[in-house]
Amino acid sequence: MRRFPWDILLTLLAGLGLGLAYAWVISPLRVVASDPIALRADFKDQFRSAIAAAFVATSNLPRTEARLSLLGDSDVVEALNSQAQRMIASGEFAQADQLATLAIALENDNVLAVLPTHTSDDAGTIEPESSTIFPQPSEDLPFQLTETPEVFDTPVAETQGVETQAVVLNPTPRPTRTPVPTLGAPFVLIAQDPVCDSTFPEGLLQVVVFNSTRRQVTGAKIIITWENGEDQFFTGLKPEIGNGYADFVMSPNITYTLRLAAGSDIASELIAPTCQNPSGEAFLGGIKLTFQQP
């Protein structure tokens, strides 16, 4: 009676294990056609910044949404806002503005908040005539890996036929041209309250900015002026208090005027009030301003 060839079977399994170890650990295939969703976090940030900059220049929201979807953020607006905060913290105010502008536009699902930086001469040529639509990242579209590592350095023009077939170019209807600069709806000053809390710094001017859906707006530029002086500050620098929160310390006996750079009601005649603590001692109080987009 012939016995079962266990030795051969075991050798086959050992070879299988060696092969897998080689393919997965020792020499995995190099990636040459990845999706943006697989990018490292800092590169995703740069990708997002470029998307926001392009959006500010073109106002093409459908294309922007398609691009953002490639990054696979679970909450796109939140991702934009948090990145805007990081950029404000690192002093990159212009890019933070672009991200915040895009976040507002996405929340409002329109382009009301966009303030293009180009001249009117440029506007005609950047009007989108078509849209490049990319497929959504899905389980059905995993990373495309080359069959041979050598393909990595092959010029794009030669490899695209093999590895790239995902671009679907569908002309989209030409958007209606807005006849005037598409500024966002002005923020309305919905509350102006004196704050007499001795635990706060004296003369603290607090500003909270909400959008139309009552979400706090990150990166909103605030301009405050007083006699012979002007300063600017941004919401979002103190996310532990609120994404739409910003503050400024007022000096006593100086009258301030404040507005949002994106367009808002003007809060004028702002003077730090004099308050009294429970023991009757006077101290300089603060003011809290709340803006909201209608």
Partner 1 sequence: MPPVTCPDIYMKSSRWLFILIALAAGFGMGLAYGWYVDPVEFFDLTPDTLRADYKADYVLMVAEAYRGEQDPGLAARRLAILGSRSPAAIASEGLVFARENGFADSDIALIQELVTAMQAWSGINP
Q: How far is the CB of 158 from partner 1 (least distance, A)?
A: 10
Give buried/exposed letters for 227-242 (b at 16+ CB in 10 A, else e): eeeeeebbbbeebeeb
147 vs 240, beta carbon nearer partner 1: 147
Q: What does the buried/exposed string (b/e) look like for 63-73 if buried means 16 or more CB atoms within 10 Å of the residue's CB?
A: bbbbbbbbbbb
47 makes contact with partner 1 (CB under 8 A): yes
CB–CB of 155/75 below 8 Å?
no
Tell me if 1 contacts partner 1 by CB under 8 A.
no
Q: How many Cβ atoms sit within 10 Å of the Cβ of residue 213? A: 12
The SS3 assignment for 276 reads strand
Q: Is 156 in the site for partner 1 (CB under 8 A)?
A: yes
262 binds partner 1 (CB under 8 A): no
* Pairing status of strand 286-292 against strand 204-210: parallel
Q: Which of 1, 74, 75, 129 binds partner 1 (CB under 8 A)?
A: 129
Q: Is 121 in the site for partner 1 (CB under 8 A)?
A: no
68 or 246: whose CB is closer to partner 1?
Answer: 68
Which residue, 24 or 213, has its beta carbon nearer to partner 1? 24
Choose, by CB under 8 A, the member of 4, 138, 150, 169 that binds partner 1: 169
Q: How far is the CB of 21 from partner 1 (least distance, A)?
A: 7
29 counts as binding partner 1 under rule CB under 8 A: yes
Instruction: Look at the alpha carbons of 47, 51, 53, 57 in this order and tell me if their dihedral is positive or negative.
Output: positive
CB atoms inside a 10 Å sphere around CB 249: 13
List the one residue from 4, 7, 140, 281 that touches partner 1 (CB under 8 A).
Answer: 7
CB of 78 to partner 1, least distance (A): 21
The length of the chain is 294
Q: Is 251 in the site for partner 1 (CB under 8 A)?
A: no
Q: Which long-range contacts (CB under 8 A, 24 or more apart) does 54-59 make?
A: 55/98, 55/101, 55/102, 55/105, 55/114, 56/98, 56/101, 56/102, 56/114, 56/115, 56/116, 56/117, 57/116, 57/117, 57/118, 57/126, 58/126, 58/127, 58/128, 59/111, 59/114, 59/116, 59/182
C-alpha span between 211 and 152 (Å, rounded): 46
Question: Where does this chain touch partner 1 (CB under 8 A) — which range of 22-30, 190-198, 217-225, 242-250?
Answer: 22-30
Residue 246: phi, psi to the nearest 5? -150, 155
Contact with partner 1 (CB under 8 A): which of 75, 121, 139, 147?
Answer: 147
Shortest distance in whole angstroms from residue 143 CB to partner 1: 6
Task: Please tell me whether residue 16 binds partner 1 under the rule CB under 8 A.
Answer: yes
Of 75 and 147, nearer to partner 1 (C-beta) is 147
Among 2, 3, 6, 8, binds partner 1 (CB under 8 A): 8
97/247 with CB nearer partner 1: 97
The reply to whether 178 sits near partner 1 by the rule CB under 8 A is: no
Yes or no: say if 286 and 194 are a contact pair by the CB < 8 Å rule.
yes
- Which range binds partner 1 by CB under 8 A, 130-138, 202-210, 242-250, 281-289? 130-138
Q: Please list every residue from 97 through 116 that binds partner 1, using CB under 8 A.
A: 116
